[in-house]
Structures are given as C-alpha cells and as structure tokens.
Structure 1
C-alpha cells in the first residue's frame, strides 16, 4: 500500500454523497461479469491462459465480510488528543483539549448520530467509501505528483528477460492471464493468514468453498485466516478516470479487448483478447510490440498525454473541445483499453532516475488517467503507475506480485527480436484532430508540468547496518524502528516533531479503504529527544532500550487499531463532511495535524524494487521505505522547502544510533 492520499486543504468541501459508482454488469457471448462473483466462462480456455485455478472462488468471501466499524466518538477524541500531544506546546495542547472536549459533549454527538444513521441505511458499503471516492474525484489538482504513486518491479533474474521487448511482452501476457483468472473467478482470494493458520491447507479450502457465501468469512476466521475485500479489483482493467468540471467520474468497460501502448508520445492499440475472450497468442503480442518499437514516425509536436497532467477542470474543458473536434472514437479507444503500456526510450541506471521516470516521466509518454499504466524502459526497468481514486495498494501490489512471478516462472516469449517474415502486425497508431486552441492547451500543460517536476527532488539510500532480523531479535517492531528513525531524523535536521502520516489498509472490511497511523507520539518524541535532541545527556543503553520498547509497543497498538478500523482520522473526516461549522475543525491544531509534513508508506514484497510518491504538502517529504532482512531502504521526495539528501543522511545517523543501542552500546551526550 504505497500511498493513501491525505485529505488536502479543500477536502472538507467535497460532497458527502454515499452512492458508490455502480459496478458495471455486462452480458456478452459466453461471458458474465458480476461485481460480487466476477464469473467468466472458461470452458474454451486452456490452463495456459490462467495464472492458476483457485479451489475457492475469487469472490467467495465478499458477501460475508464484516462491515467497517465506526469508532466510538469518545475513543476517536482520545486518540486524536494523544496524537496532538507531541506536536503542541503545553498551552496549545490545553486549548485544543478544551475545544475537543466541547465538541465531544456537544455537536460531535449529533454528527456522530447522523453518521451512524447513514451507515445503517448503506449496509452494502462502508461509511468511508463514498466520501473517500468524493474526496479523490472532486480534487482539482493534477494527478501527477499529487496523487499517482508508482511501484517498480524487481528485475527478471534471467538477464535476457530484461530486454525491453521481451519484458514488455511477457509482463503484458501475464497481465492478461491475471485478467482472465480474475474474471473467471479462479484467482486465489486475498487472505491474511495468522501464524499457524489452518486456512492455507487445501483440505480447508475444499471445505470452505462448500460454505454458503453468507458464512464463508466466519469459517475462514475460525481457521485463523482473514479474507480481504476485493471489490476494487475489477477497476484494474478497462478503466479510466474521466475529467469533468467539479468532479471526475470513473469509467469501466470490460467488453473492450485491446491494449493501449504509448511510445514517444504516440498512442497505439491492438487486441490482446479475441472475440471469444481468449488471450491472443503471445507471439502476436510480441510482434505488435516489436512493430511499435520499430516505428520511426517522428514524435508528435502536440502529444495529447500531456493534457492528463493538467488541473482537472482545465483538462475537462479541453477534453470537451477534443470531443467536439471529432476525436470521440480515438478517445474511447484510450479510455476503454485493458490497460496502458508505456514503452520509454530511456535507460535508468540508478534508483533516483528510475523514480523520476516512473513517478512522472516527461509528461508526454503517459496517460495518467488510466487506472493502471505498466511502464517498461529500454533497459528493462519496469514499474506500475496508478491512478489512486479507484483503489489502494493492496489490489495493485497483488497484481504486481502475480505478473512478476508469472512472467519470470513461465515467460510467454523468448528474448530477442521478433522473427522476420511473420504476419502483418494488427497494431494501429491513433490519430487526433487538433485545432489551435487544443495545441495551445498542450503547450500550456507541458510548461506547467515542467515547472512542477522541476521543483521535485528525489533521493534514495540503503542503510546496510541492520534490518528486520536484528530488530526482531530485540523483540521490536521493524516498522516502529523505521518510523522512530524518521522522527529522530527530522528532529536532528529541523528541531521539531512533524505531523506524520503512515497509511494502513482497512481491507479486512467490506469496501474498506485506508486509515491513518500517527507515528509521532509522546514516546517517539521522548526517545528522539534522548537520542538526538540538542543538549542531550549521555544515555545508558538499558535506559534507551526501554524507550525503544515503549515506542515499539505503542506503534504496534496504533497499527492494530488502524487496521481494525479504530483510528480517528477517517471518523473525524466523515463527521466534518456533515458539519456546517464547529470550533473543533477551525482549531489551528486540527489543520496542523492534517498538514502532513512526513507522509510515509511501506510495502514488502520480493517483486518490488522500490516505490515512491511526491510529498502531499509543499513543505513536506514523501517517504517510501522498506525494512528488509538485513538492510533498510528509503526513497524520499521533496520540494525546495526541504533538503531531501540531508534528511536521508539524518535517517542513516539515526539508524546507526538505534542499532548501537540494540548492540548494548551507550550513546554519548551532545557536544
């Protein structure tokens, strides 16, 4: 779960509509798409067209998933005040505490009752799902840098598999297998297993598949397995975000069979499914991509992909002009494509250049509105850049894991060029009619894009002085240690404790999205001050070790509460949408804690090389990180207000201090 976008400055103004964009239900020859079952006739398909055949149907648990709970108001206020305490001086905190208690005793109770009543009328979904869609779709900022994150795939261990043509063809074929497996209901359900879970065994799976859909979750839970919500998965394919004035909308067209390919700003399409819904031969995919890679047509003077980097209202107006100019058919081909494959004519020798390319690129060879874009560079570096409104990292990470593993374990095509003398490729280049107003719109969009990305700095580091194994030996949480290092680094660099956001999935509940973990606490503030604060005294390792344990234990509780829907951020956000005004939301401290200077997210997968996103506020840092067995990686972005490289230097110094304490060493006092 790379990033859940934080509620930005104008988030309180978004609509509180509760109706979800309905899932499309389509019928086609020998196929049925259904949002609850995702069934797809596979009688004519060979096993080679699927990733696997799950014993338990993909959506078997969906009907019986528990609903996302609304926390008690008193609990949310208590958690909110605990998160505020390390950010405020004593007098400020007392004022915020008074405002919060007044809210709890007064208007907050009525707003909470309204929220509970709404939730009871909408048992098909969660209380946060509708408002969260609205928050994203009503935001008018450009998608690039503000919302779309990226995840880079690990290299193919077979060296030759990293050549651009082979990598792009194999990942595309594996993505089509994923699509077919999902729609056939054969994709293994997403399940979180406790240690020693009986839910992993084939015997249990055979048993649970016989359970009625209304009881399947309970049977799995009894075996120590927690099925996760999979309602977002259908948006992985054939989906796009359409710009509209005031509020965008999501489009999904599962009947479309073609792939969108972008190269040098040109757009091409060709079918990856035949009329019966079967995957086309991998050789045809390779031959079409080979033809596209060999196309010497000069780059367009006015590449339309640049328009997807614009302000959403500006883009909506230009989109209407594109339609009026007679481009509907070409636009529909873009919007409904299975996904977007971006073939980049660049090589990416290091993590920094890879991050810049995969996060934003040149603004030309992208269609940022597509739900999913697979990017493959000339040297085989591959990544996924995804539009965030439709879903979160759980679905995208599952997709990435599956296609990486499939492409490596059973590549569809061999490395090397397509053989000469084959059939004529079916790929065709899309053309668009542009008048002078549209050309000027492209020019302005490119200029604004260049200014925005020109101010973004990205840097990365690998700390090799220790990792997950050493931390766990000390019975500490690896994530808590990483978050403490960020608090220590910021204190060392700027002398204050920042408002900090860590994303946490609530996919354990029906239509769950994310909740916020607030890593900055009185425990991290005290520990950071003892270890790096100005004028710190010499500290014994035993004393600091106890502080580390308190930080770890508290962070573990916060994480568990967030995953179980018991954080405070989403609850207070939903109440704010129902409120016309209250001193609680006007309190500067409320605005400050939601101005997330440190926005952080972690993901752990051997299929992921790195991930990243831009800061969510102008004076913030975007921190993607991963704690590996023996090292810790950080990929950090920032604007001119922050020194990214110095922050990473401070992170490494902080980690050195933490691991010194784990090794039983005292820390000297400051000079």
Structure 2
C-alpha cells in the first residue's frame, strides 16, 4: 500500500509542477533554495529536511523481460543488416523464453527481499569498483561559472570561500537542514511557499523528490585501490581538509573539536601559508599514483604501507575533501578542460570522493569519482556552492587583518617515506601518465544560430535534435551512423542511479541519411516531418529511461546475477552484436545550470568520442574529447554543419 500511495503522490506532485524525470533531457533547471535564518553555519535551513522524503521514494521497477527484449532489439535494428538482425533476434527470443525467464524470476524475488534499496544499486557500484583501468580519465569534471564580481575570482579569496561554503553544505547536510532537491517543470507553481508548505506537512511516506542517498558519501570518502575490486572508505569523524600545491600535500582542521567551523580568516591564512611555502615541487609526487591502473596502484599502495606510510595515507583518505591549488593560469576553454580533467598528474588525488580545483587565475572546477555518485547529485552540490560563494562570501578581496592563528603550527605538510623501489615506481607511473594524456585531444564548439527557444517553438525536443546532429556529423565524417549512449538519471526512485538512452534509432538513421546524402530528394516539409518523428521517438526513450524502463541496466542486472552464481552466460551476452551496441562510439551526457560553465570527460571507448553538451535558449555548446583514432576537430565541424542544416529546414528554407 505504501508504494501505491507513493506513486499516487508522485503523480499529484507532477501536476503541481515538479519534474521527477530529473535530467532526462539533460536540461537541469533548479531554483535555488531560499536562505532562512541568519546562521553562517548553513547554506540553507529547509522546512522539509533533505532525508524527510527518502522513505517515500517509489522503488525502481524491474521492467518486464519481454519489454526489455523488445527495446533491446529496437536499439539493435539500425546497427545490423537483415541477416545479422535475424540472428540477434533469435538469440534474444531464446533468452526471453529460457535462461532469461529464470533469471528474471530470481531477480524479482531477490528485489522483494531487499526493499530498502534498488535492484541495480549494488551491482552498479560493484561494476565501478571492479574496473581495473585508471579512474583518472573516467572521472568527470564540471567548471564553475566565474563569480559575477571579478575581484572575488582571485585564487585565495575564491578558494577560501569555496571551502567555507562546502563546509556549510556539509553541516547543513548532517544537521538534516538541506532543502530536498526538486526539479521544476513550472517553478511558478512549485517553487512557492504554499507548495513547500504542502511538502513539509506531507508524511514522509507520501512525498517524493529525488534520491538523497549519494550525499552520505560526499564528504570524508575515498576510493581505496584493492586487487580485483576497490573499496569505498568513509570516516565522518575526521575534521581536516587535504590541500595539494606543487604536488605537495598539506592538511589542517576546518572543524574544531566541538564541531564548529574554523573561522574563514584562519582558513584563508592557512591557504596563504601553503602557497607561500618555499618547499620545492615534489620530486616524487604521490598523487600521480592515483592515475595508474587499479591493480598496479593497489600494489604500490601496499608497498607504501609497508614502508611506514599507513598513518599519512589514512589522513589523506579520511579528509573531508581535496582542494587543489594550481600554479598555472588558463589560456582558453581547451586548456582549462585538460587541466580539470587530468592536470599534470602530480597535483591531484583522483581517488577522493570529490576535489575542488582552483587555477592560479581563479577559475574553479570540481572533479569526482563516479563509483559512488552521478552527475545530478554533484550538480546539486555545485549549485549550492556557487550560490553561497557568490551571494554570501565570507572573505573578501583587498587588505585583510592578520588572523589570530599560527598557520605554521596549524598546517602540516605530509612527508612520506619512499625507498628506491617506490621512487622508481612513481617515476614509471608519471611516464605512463604523460604518455596517456598526450594522446587525448579536446575541442569545443558553440553553435550560435539557434537553441532551445526555436526548437521548442517547433515542438521539437532539444535533446533529440542535438543527438541527431551527432549522428549526422559522424555520418558526414565517417560514412556511417554508430552506437551511442546518453546518460539518463533514475534519481526519482530510491537508490536509483542512471540508465542509458540509445539515441541511434531507425528514425535518426533515416533522417541522417536524408539530410547528409539525400537532401535534394526530399522537400522541406518531408525533412521537417522526419525531424518530428525523431523527436517523438526520442521523447519516448527519455520517458522510458527516467521511469526505470530502460533495457541496459536490466540486462546488466540479469547478467550480474548469472555471474554471481557462476552460471555460464547465455549467448545473448556473447553475441557480437551485444558487444557492439555496448561499445558506444558516441558517449554523451548533458547538464545545464546557472552555476556551471561547461563539463566534460574522456571517451570511454578508445575509438570513440566523449561528448558533453548544453542547450541554451539561443545557442548550443559542446565539449568533446577523443584519442588518435578519431579527429575531434573535424567531427565538430561536421556537427556544426548538421545543426546549420537542421535549423535551416526549421526556418522553412531549402538546403543548399
């Protein structure tokens, strides 16, 4: 009955204007929480505390097996010729009627015995922790917009304010005062005192914003390398901040023994002390070890512990978070992207739950380990930090009175015992790091001839149009359409994570060929109709994905269950077409926020593109990465041309 009531309440809340699809379109719009009370200890004091709604969230549904197979085959169709598809279809139907049916029954039974979580939560985090390649390039980055008051972008000023705001966020979170994350379709209806009053008064089992469980690992958490499978370590008792500068590591307390925040002026004094430290750049920077493959790093960590560094490693792992102060100014967006994604490898600890990075010229970003969290939760954090630092800064530019604190005593530089073997290991890892990042290319594009306003006026999904432009661009460059994957949040469900939307469809394939190779064979009206067909079907995929009806995670969970029982995998999972569809050449994600300038990540496939994009009212921005197998510069030129063609057709003009 509780689940039924929750579903009904969710439906009711939607009518009030709440968008429980979250970032389905990737267009994440949030009206920031109002500040209540005068306390400088909190970023907000909500009438409806963050965890109030957690029990009310509906459980992530397990799709019907026949629906998953149907959706899987629909996604496979544009990738396969007729003969290949007949083989894959036969295998999938055999799975549905045989091994898959048994696994489905076991998965449903298992889920009924674990009502506190979702069927995908455990397997999905296990997947992340079990990967053996480096996390360095799979950790996403998100760039803050500059502070609108230019003088507040000075490195020490902005770093201090961000530390203070992060600390206030943590205290708000742990005091249960953080406003629940709610995404609004119509803020004029739902971002109101009367609506909040309804939510506040609703019993926790009758209300339903977004899943808050990821925030439990936001602070004091580090991913620990282990052979075969990593571990997440959290120590909420720790009170110190980890700061990295020139590859050296420093710590100081930002919470006192009574749980009170250290004064902002003292934090600023400590950061000034660190930046003025005459200690040269670390000759053997330990941070670069976190860029290595997980098993190699695990072995080197064991050697570090054997050499007497266990206590200092514990200090690093338990720190509230990591702050990296870089001594380089940024030339442009490309330089900034490279710096935030990987930097020089020395001034980072990629295993921390999240890291705040400040360049010499005060540009700020966040990078985070993906195992415990997805982009939506980190965007919530970024929103709050940006709002708090820009509206309620605690330190200010210009001359300041000396803080009544001895930074030389309060700040400790960590010094590790390194023997010849460890120094040689660090040297080899740095060489490997340099070799890897030298192959990574990043480029960016701004399409200024139209955006969300015109697309919505044409009743088209902006997300669908950009995904179509990616397929058209790849077709124009390489002569084919390819497997693509777009992240889709299921955070409207308890312990929901993400699923995948498959943007390559029969509709997008037909439309891409019509625009790229057959434009003279179709009228403007016919091309417009194709665009509408693509948009309609893409919206359906978004709806299915955000409501827990995607096929990717379901098939993954069934496979995970079979492997956990040491069963031989059904031929569905060994079919070459299964491997091909999961080798996404176009790995994409989208977010938009007033706090964020842009974001990015490296390609997941060595012959793929890592695509992030944002659609604004009158322009579209993309940040794209690739390895040498692909030409990212040419690809973006093709995407730009594709968008030009789409907007030309929408304006009723014939393609030239």
TM-score, normalised on structure 1? 0.90
CA spacing shift, 1:197–1:228, aligned 2, 3 Å = farther
1:549 aligns with 2:522: no
d(CA) in 1 for partners of 2:546 and 2:60?
A: 10
CA spacing shift, 1:322–1:120, aligned 2, 3 Å = same
Preserved CA contact (<8 Å) 1:516 1:569? yes
- Count of residues in correspondence between the two structures: 613
1:351 aligns with 2:333: yes
SS at match of 2:543: helix
Q: How does 1:278-289 map to 2 (within 5 A)?
A: 278-289=260-271
SS at match of 1:259: strand
The Cα offsets for residues 554-581 of structure 1, whole Å up to 9 and x where unpaired, read as 1111011100000000001111123322
1:611 alignment partner in structure 2: 599
1:336 aligns with 2:318: yes
1:185 aligns with 2:173: no
Shift of 1:48: 1.1
d(CA) in 1 for partners of 2:94 and 2:522?
A: 41
1:291 is aligned, of 243, 253, 273, to 273
1:520 aligns with 2:504: yes
2:45 alignment partner in structure 1: 53
1:652 alignment partner in structure 2: 640
2:348 alignment partner in structure 1: 366
2:579 alignment partner in structure 1: 591
Preserved CA contact (<8 Å) 2:265 2:395? yes
Preserved CA contact (<8 Å) 1:540 1:665? no
d(CA) in 1 for partners of 2:205 and 2:503?
A: 37
d(CA) in 2 for partners of 1:410 and 1:420?
A: 21
Preserved CA contact (<8 Å) 1:260 1:340? yes
1:150 aligns with 2:141: yes
CA spacing shift, 1:619–1:180, aligned 2, 3 Å = same
1:64 alignment partner in structure 2: 56
Shift of 1:422: 5.0
Shift of 1:192: 2.7
Shift of 1:279: 1.2
d(CA) in 2 for partners of 1:207 and 1:168?
A: 38
1:39 alignment partner in structure 2: none
d(CA) in 2 for partners of 1:201 and 1:473?
A: 27
d(CA) in 2 for partners of 1:586 and 1:412?
A: 57
Shift of 1:46: 6.6
Preserved CA contact (<8 Å) 2:490 2:545? yes
The Cα offsets for residues 178-208 of structure 1, whole Å up to 9 and x where unpaired, read as 1111111111001233437855332343344
Shift of 1:421: 7.6
1:10 alignment partner in structure 2: none
CA spacing shift, 1:664–1:46, aligned 2, 3 Å = closer
d(CA) in 2 for partners of 1:160 and 1:126?
A: 46
When structure 1 is superposed on structure 2, of 639-648 and 573-582 the one drifting more is 573-582
TM-score, normalised on structure 2? 0.92
Cα RMSD of the aligned pairs, angstroms, is: 1.4
1:634 alignment partner in structure 2: 622
2:206 alignment partner in structure 1: 215
1:117 alignment partner in structure 2: 109
Any gaps of 5 or more consecutive residues in structure 2? 1-36, 563-567
Preserved CA contact (<8 Å) 2:519 2:655? no
CA spacing shift, 1:629–1:583, aligned 2, 3 Å = same
SS at match of 2:299: helix
The Cα offsets for residues 275-315 of structure 1, whole Å up to 9 and x where unpaired, read as 11111111111111111111121011100001101111111
d(CA) in 1 for partners of 2:569 and 2:404?
A: 68
1:505 alignment partner in structure 2: 489
SS at match of 1:642: coil
Preserved CA contact (<8 Å) 2:223 2:352? yes
2:25 alignment partner in structure 1: none
SS at match of 1:270: strand
Shift of 1:214: 2.5
1:206 alignment partner in structure 2: 197
